[in-house]
Chain A
């Protein structure tokens, strides 16, 4: 069984470009979460999605950031017009359902560097 797959593992973008981060959840998992880990900081919640629906985006910056989880294909975290402060590790997690009895499985992350 493949775990949560994130790609690319490393992404370098120039200021002003767009960054697209992909996340394929574990098989059978319909709940996807995105977290950001800034250098020297802990993981911060960004967004929670189910298939075709955004459930909670309270952690997403108001501008330039968007996320989707289409009916078919991976979840996408999109950052438009990247700035140096967007440089961070972005982690995706998935679960089969909500509730404490269902563990979260994290991917290996995408390390975004904005130059």
Chain B
């Protein structure tokens, strides 16, 4: 069974601070995806990383895929209240099946 461990589970910070969310596994994934989920809605894809060591930036969000394709991180610079939400990482294996982490609930206080 493939598992993805996300940390921290909860994170509450002040506006303007930086933060990093981690996603770790003992399994190798063909790709790693990050989603954001709002209450009462489905996950929305933020980014997909495919190559070991790959770094992708989306405005103030930086996503990195580990060299061995077993782990990933999401770094947010100068967090804003609008960044509040549940962030999920998901690893894809052959067969197009996603294994999700438990999620990180981020709260950015004004």
List the B residue with the shortest CB-CB distance to A59.
B97
How many chain B residues have a CB neighbour from A under 8 Å? 24
C-beta contact mask, B14-57 vs A, less than 8 Å → 1, else 0? 00000000000000001101010000111111001010000000
Which residues does chain B contribute within 8 Å of A58, judged by CB atoms?
97
* B96 near A41: Cβ-Cβ < 8 Å: no
B residues bordering A, Cβ < 8 Å? 30-31, 33, 35, 40-45, 48, 50, 88, 90, 92, 95-103
Can you list 13 residue pairs at the A/B interface with Cβ under 8 Å? A33-B97, A41-B102, A42-B102, A42-B103, A45-B99, A55-B96, A56-B96, A56-B97, A59-B97, A91-B43, A101-B48, A103-B33, A106-B35
Q: B-side binding surface: helix, strand, loop or mixed? A: strand
Inter-chain CB contacts under 8 Å: number: 65
- Given A42-B100, A42-B103, A100-B31, decide whether A106 and B42 contact each other with a Cβ distance below 8 A: yes
* B98 near A108: Cβ-Cβ < 8 Å: no
Q: Find the residue from B30, B40, B45, B97 having the highest chain A CB count within 10 A.
A: B97
- Given A42-B88, A42-B101, decide whether A106 and B44 contact each other with a Cβ distance below 8 A: yes
| A25 in the interface (beta carbon within 8 A) | no
| A69 in the interface (beta carbon within 8 A) | no
- Given A103-B45, A103-B48, decide whether A48 and B95 contact each other with a Cβ distance below 8 A: yes
| A95 in the interface (beta carbon within 8 A) | yes
* B96 near A48: Cβ-Cβ < 8 Å: yes
